[in-house]
Amino acid sequence: MMFPHMIPYAEPFYFFLLAIALIPIVLSLLIWKKRLPIYQSVVTLFFL
């Protein structure tokens, strides 16, 4: 049984996009040891 609010999580493409969106955040933390607050906010709003 699939609940309507859980439908995006049933799509593998959702996790592919999430992984692609997290790459710049991880790289910025590893290379510059800084966060990208605006980018993090945009990614969070898009994926929630």
Q: Considering the domain boundaries, does residue 33 fall inside one?
A: yes
Those residues with Cβ within 8 angstroms of residue 46's Cβ, 6 or more apart along the chain or in another chain: 21
Three-state SS for the chain is CCCHHHHHHHCHHHHHHHHHHHHHHHHHHHHCCCCCHHHHHHHHHHHC
Q: What total of structural domains would you count in the chain?
A: 1
Q: Considering the domain boundaries, does residue 1 fall inside one?
A: no
Q: Considering the domain boundaries, does residue 29 fall inside one?
A: yes
Q: Considering the domain boundaries, does residue 35 fall inside one?
A: yes
pLDDT tens for each residue of 18-39: 899 999 999 999 999 999 999 9
At 42 the pLDDT is 92
At 6 the pLDDT is 64
Mean pLDDT for the stretch of residues 1-27: 80
Q: Considering the domain boundaries, does residue 21 fall inside one?
A: yes
Mean pLDDT for the stretch of residues 6-20: 80
Q: Considering the domain boundaries, does residue 13 fall inside one?
A: yes
Domain range spanning residue 14?
8-47
Q: What percent of the chain shows pLDDT beyond 90?
A: 48
Q: Considering the domain boundaries, does residue 3 fall inside one?
A: no
